[in-house]
Structure 1
Amino acid sequence: MSSFRPVRLISATVGALVILSVGVYGPATLLGPLPEATATLVTPPAGEAVPFPPVLPATGGSAVIGLATVAADPAAPETTTPDAAALATTLPLAVAGSAEPLPMAAATKIVTALVVLDAKPLALGETGPQVPITAADYQDYLDYYSTDNRTVIVFPGELWTETELLQAMILGSSNNHADTLARWAFGSLDAYTAAANAWLAEQGLAGTHVADATGLSDDSVGTASDLARLAGLAAADPVIGAILSQPASALVGQRGVDNTTAFLPEAGVTGITRSYTEGAGVCFLFTAQVQGPDSVYTFAGALIGEPDYDTLAIDVTALMESARAGVRELPTLAQGDAYVEFSTPWGAEASGTVRTATTTYGWQAQAPGDAEVTVDPLSTGRAGKTVGRVTVDAGGAPVTSTLVLDRTISPPGLGWRLLNPVPMISALIAANR
C-alpha cells in the first residue's frame, strides 16, 4: 500500500521547473536576439546659413520659385534639376504683395500655349500640322486691330503651321493667334476654356482661372505663386523654350513679329511674357540665371499688377541684385555631424553621423527648417554601418545623405545576457510577433 508524500511531490515539481527553466531560459538569453538600441534624434550645431531673401515689390503680386542648378561646364553632369511636373507643388522661395488671384493679362497666353501643346503635342524641331486661316480668324484680327490690341496680320485661306501660330502668340503676343490656336485645338473658345481650367486644376494651379485665350478679360486671373510655377512649366517645355530663344522675326514663310517678351537680358533675365492691360497693369513672367564659378542657378518668377514698365525695370533690377547676393554655395550637410544618438541596455553608445559632406549652389531665401531623419532599427553594428538618412532643405531643394555609425556597437557578454532576463525575453517575444 502506497502513502502520499507531499515532500516528494514538491521536490519533483521544483526539479521539473528547474529543468524547464534552464531549458528555456538558457537558450533565450544566450542564443536569442538582442534588444534594439534606443535612438534619440539630436540637432547638430547650426551652420552659417544666413538667409538672403528675394527682394520683391509690395504692390500687385509677385513670387519666385527655384528651378535648377546645373554645372557651368556644359560637358559636366547636372547637379540638380527638379522634374518639371513637381513645380506645381514646389513651395516658392518668396511671395510678396497680394496672395489673391489678380488679372494676369497675356500670362493667359502661356496657359493657352501649354494647353494647346498638351492637346496637340510637338516634338522639338517639328513644325506641326498646317492650320488654315478662316474667316473667323481674319475677323478676330480686324476686331483686335481696331481696338489697339496686339495682333499679327493674317488673311483668309493662309496656312500657318502650329509652330508659327505659337511663335506669333508667344513672341508677338498676338491676340488673334491665341483665339485661332484655341479654336483649332478644341473646336470653340468655350471648349478651350473648359479644357484649360481642367488642365490648371490637374497641375495644382488652383488659384488660376481663364475666361479667354488672350488675357484681355479681367476674369482671367492667377496668383503670383501659381504664375511663377507657370513660368517654370513654360521654361521646361522644349517647344516654348526654343521659341523664346529665337530672334524676333523668326516666323518661317510668314510675316515677322516684334518680340514682346525680351526684358533686361543683360541682367540674366529671359522674358516669357510681358504685357499690359488697364485691369491687370503690367504683368511679367520670366526666368533668370545667376552664374557662379562652377554652377548656374535658374529661377522663375512672376510680377503682376505693376503700375508701369519703368517700375517693372526697377523691381526686376532689385530682384536680380538680391539674387546675386543670395545665390551662393550653401553648406547643407557637414561630414561627421550627428543627427541621432544610440544607446543600448548593456551600456554601448554610438552616433549616426553624416557620411559625406554635401553642398549645393542655390538660394537660401529662408532660414533652414528642421532636418527630416529616418533611422533603421539596430542592436549592434560596426563603425561605418548605414543606420538611416537625413534630408535638409537647401535653397528650396531637398538634399539627402546617409547616416553611419561613428563607432562600433558590440554585443554584450554572456554574463549580461544571463543576468538580464527581462530585456532578453522581451526581445525574443518582439522578434516572434
Structure 2
Amino acid sequence: MTAEGLEKASEPTEGSERADAGRSAKGTDAAEPSEAVAAWVANDDDESAEGPKGGVKDDGTKDAESDADEAATAATENPEDAEDGTEKAAGAEDERGVDQPTAVFRAPTVDRVDHPTLRITPPASKSGPESKPESVAVRAGTFVPLRGDDVRPAPAPAPAPKPRKPETPIPAAASAATPGIPAALPPLPAVELTNTPPPPQAPVRTAARRVKIWTSLVLLLLIIFAIAQMVRPLPEPALVLSADPTYTFDGGKIDMPWPAEGQGAVEVEGVGTIGTYGAQKPAPIASVAKVMTAYVILEDHPLTGKEQGEKITADQQAEDESSREDESKAPMTKGQQFTQKQMLQLLMIPSGNNAARLLARWDATTEEAFVEKMNAAAKDLGMTNTTYTDPSGLKSSTVSTPTDQLKLAEAVMRNDVFREIVNMPQADIPGVGAIYNNNEILLEPGVSGIKTGSSTPAGGNLLWAADTVIDGKSRRIIGVVMGADLDGTLYAKLQRAIQNSLKLIKAAQKGVDSTTVVKKGDVVGYVDDGLGGRTPVVSTKDLKAIGWSGLQVKLDIGEGDEQVPHSAPSGTVVGEVTVGTGTGKVSAPIALQKDLSEPGFGPRLTRVS
C-alpha cells in the first residue's frame, strides 16, 4: 500500500466526523443505529438546503467515501483483513467512481405526540479497553453499484466541510424514548407525563348524582307498578247489609196455654219457635215413631200427587199380628195386596203396628235393618236426642224430645202425599173397609195432622200441624205434646194430650200475625265495589214478616238470579232483602239508589289485594 493511500484512508471523512459529533453529543460510546441514521440524514438535508459553496462534490469524492466506508465495514467484521481492506479502498478512489444519487431523501416530519407515562430506559452501553467505536459504514450501510460498467473517473478531492451550526443537546430522557417516536421532539410538560388520578368528587356532587339515579329508578318502578295495578281484574262487587240485622215484633211475649204435665214445643214453620215447656228430655213416644217410618219409606220410594206406588203383599206375620189384642193393628190376610199409598194409610190413620213392620220388611228385608235406616235419617235431620229401636214405637226404648220431633215434622210435611194422608179423619181401603183416625181435632179449623201415640210408658202424645191465614197466605204451625200421664186411663191420657194440643193451636193461630219490617225506599245496604266504593241500595216494596209479639227475626240481603254488575244506572235491581228463614222466609227486590260506577284511578292504584 502506498503512502498516499494510507494518508487518505486515515483522514476522517465528513460522515465519520458527523458520527463522532453525534456520539459525543449523546455521551455514549456507541449509539443506536436508527439514531445515527436519523442524524446523518438530517445533516445531509442541511447541506442540500445550503447549496454548494466552493463547488459541489464530484463523483470521485463520493467514490472515495464509499470505498472508505467499505474498508471500515470490513475492518469491523474481520480485524485481520482491516489493513488489506484499507488499501483496496484507497486504490478504488483512483480507479472507479459511482453514480450520483438522483434524488434527495428527507426524513419524514413526525407530528408532536404525547409521551407515554411509562418510559423504557435502554441499558447503558458497555465501555472498556476492548470496545471499538462503530464505523460510519456499519451504521449507515454500504452502497453497492447495480452494474459493473458504472465506473467513472475519480472526482477531485472535496473541499473542506463547512462548520456545522451548534445543535441543541438532546436530553437524556428523550434519547430513551419509545422506538417509533423521534428523539428530537422536546419533552411534554410534566403534567402530561403523569398518570395522577383526578381529585375526588365533592360529597354534594356525589349525593346529587345518586339522587338523580335513584329518582329515575323509583319513577320507573312507580310507572310499572301503576300499569300493573290498572290492568289487574277488578274485584267482584258484593252486597252488604247496612240495616239492623234483626227485627223484634212489638209487644210482650205471646201468651201460650202450656199444659201442666209432660213436655212440648210449638213453632211457626220457617219463622221460629213460639215456645217450649217441660223438661225437654228424651222420653218414649209410642206410635209417634211411625212418622219416621213413613219418612224413610217415602225417602226410599218417593210418591207425589196421585201416585199410588208399588204393590205390597201381606205375609203370614202381618196376618198373625192383625189379631193381637194388646196393640193397634190393621186388618190383613196373607197374600192380600196393597199399594204403597194404601199401606201408608193403614200405618198413619188407624196406626197399625203390623203395617209398620210389613213396610219395614218390604223396604229393608228385616226390621233390624230398617231400624238402622230410621236412626240414620234421624242423624241427618239433626235429631241428636232421638233413638229408634222398632218401626212401630211399641217398645219403650224408642225415645225422643219435642224439639227433635218438630225437626222431623217440618221435613216430612213437605211431601204432599204424606200431608194428604195425615189430614184424613178416615179412609176406605179395598178389601179392608173403612178405617178411622184417632186424632179427633182434625175437624177443627186449620188442624191438619199429624200423628197420635199412646202407651203406658209414653202416656198420651200428639204431634200436630195447623194452618193459619196471614195476609191472604196460609202459614203452617207445628207442635207436639208429650207425656200426658197424670191420671186416668190410657185413652183419657191420649184425649188430654189432644185437647191440650188444640188449646195451643188456637193460641198460636191468634197470636201469629204479620208486620211491615222494611218499607219501600228504605236503604237496607250497599254495593261494595271491593276498593272502598259504596253505592246504597233500597227496597222496591214493603216487606212484611210473619211473627208474634216479642219475636226477633233475621234480615239479610243477597244477590238475585244475576251477579251484581261493576256499573249500572240508578234503579237497577241488584238483589233482594229477606226476612226470616226456611219456608217462612219472605223477600223483596232491592235496587240501586244512584248510579253504580267502576272504581277510579286512585282506588285502583292504591289497592292492596
TM-score, scaled relative to structure 1: 0.73
The counterpart of 2:320, out of the listed 136, 139, 153, is 139
Find the residue that maps to 2:481 and give its secondary structure. Answer: strand
- Structure 2 residue aligned with 1:14, among 211, 218, 223? 211
Structure-2 change in CA distance of 1:129 and 1:357 (3 Å): closer
Distance 1:291 1:280 in 2: 34
Task: Give the corresponding residue for 1:60.
Answer: 262
* Distance in structure 2 (CA, Å) of the matches to 1:126 and 1:181: 17
CA distances 1:311-348 after superposition (whole Å, capped 9, x unpaired):
335433432333233322232333454566999xxxx9
Partner of 1:108 in structure 2?
289
Question: How far is the alpha carbon of 1:192 from its aligned partner?
Answer: 1.9
1:164 aligns with 2:342: yes
Q: What is the correspondence of 1:281-300 to structure 2 with a 5 Å cutoff? A: 281-300=459-478
Shift in Å at residue 294 of structure 1?
1.8
| Aligned residue identity for 2:275 | A
Q: Tell me, what secondary structure is at the counterpart of 1:329?
A: strand
Contact 1:102–1:223 (8 Å) recurs in 2: yes
Decide which of 290, 293, 298 is 1:117's aligned counterpart.
Answer: 298
What corresponds to 1:301 in structure 2? 479
Structure 1 residues 270-289: aligned runs within 5 Å = 270-289=448-467
Q: Distance in 1 between matches of 2:415 and 2:210?
A: 83
The AA in structure 1 aligned to 2:201 is: R
Q: Distance in 2 between matches of 1:394 and 1:45?
A: 13
Q: 1:324 to 1:395 in 2, by over 3 A?
A: farther
- 1:334 aligned onto 2:519: yes
Q: Cα gap change, 1:152/1:408 in structure 2, threshold over 3 Å: closer, same or farther?
A: closer
**Deviation at residue 97 of structure 1 after TM alignment:** 1.5
Q: Which moved more, 1:153-162 or 1:374-383?
A: 374-383
How far, CA to CA, are the matches of 1:269 and 1:282 in structure 2? 18
Note the C-alpha offset of 1:54.
7.0
Give the C-alpha shift of residue 266 in structure 1. 2.3
Q: Is the 8 A contact 2:247 2:555 kept in 1?
A: no
Unaligned 5+ residue runs, structure 1?
69-89, 418-423
Q: Does 1:428 align with 2:605?
A: yes
CA shift in 2, pair 1:4/1:290, >3 Å: same
- 1:325 and 2:521 equivalent? no
The 3 A distance-change label for structure 1 pair 379 and 291 is closer
- The higher-RCO structure (CA 8 Å, 6+ apart) is 1
1:99 counterpart SS class: coil
Q: d(CA) in 1 for partners of 2:354 and 2:245?
A: 59
Instruction: Return the letter of the residue paired with 1:61.
Output: Q
Structure 1 or 2: more strand by fraction: 1
For 1:115, the aligned partner's letter is: V
**Over the residues paired in the alignment, what is the CA RMSD in angstroms?**
4.4
- CA deviations over 1:162-218 (Å, ceiling 9, x no partner): 322221111111122222222222222222212221222222222222111221211
| Separation in 2, partners of 1:386, 1:22 | 44
Q: Which of 400, 409, 413 pairs up with 1:231?
A: 409
Q: How many residues align structurally? A: 394
- The alpha-carbon deviation at position 284 of structure 1 amounts to 0.8
* 1:258 to partner: Cα distance: 1.4
SS class of match (1:172): coil
**Relative to structure 1, is the Cα distance of residues 92 and 396 closer, same or farther in structure 2, using a 3 angstrom cutoff?**
farther
Kindly state the Cα deviation for residue 273 of structure 1 after the two structures are TM-superposed. 0.9
Conserved in 2, the CA contact under 8 Å of 1:63 and 1:303? yes
Letter matched to residue 250 of structure 2:
V
Identify which of 353, 356, 359 aligns with 2:543: 359
In 2, distance between residues paired with 1:121 and 1:197? 19
- The change in CA–CA distance for 1:46 and 1:171 in structure 2 (over 3 A counts) is closer
- The residue aligned with 2:552 is 368
Shift of 1:297: 0.9
Classify the secondary structure of the residue corresponding to 1:128.
Answer: coil
1:3, 1:282 → 2: CA distance? 111
Q: How does 1:34-53 map to 2 (within 5 A)?
A: 49-50=249-250, 52-53=253-254
* Greater alpha carbon shift after TM alignment, 23-32 vs 280-289: 23-32
- Is the CA contact 1:227–1:302 (under 8 Å) kept in the aligned structure 2? yes
| Among 205, 221, 226, the residue aligned to 2:383 | 205
User: Residue type matched to 1:103 in 2?
Assistant: P
Give me the whole-angstrom Cα distance separating, in 1, the residues matched to 2:302 and 2:245. Answer: 51
Q: 1:5 and 2:201 equivalent? A: yes
Q: TM-score, normalised by structure 2?
A: 0.54
- 1:241 and 2:409 are equivalent in the alignment: no
Aligned equivalent of 2:352: 174
Q: What's the offset of the Cα at 1:430?
A: 3.8
How far apart are 1:27 and its partner, in Å?
9.0
Partner-residue secondary structure (3-state), 1:150: coil
Equivalent in the alignment of 1:98: 279
Q: Rate the CA distance shift 1:390–1:396 in 2: closer, same or farther, 3 A.
A: same
Quick check: 2:482–2:497 contact (8 Å CA) kept in 1?
no
In structure 2, distance between residues paired with 1:44 and 1:198: 39
Matched position secondary structure for 2:437: coil
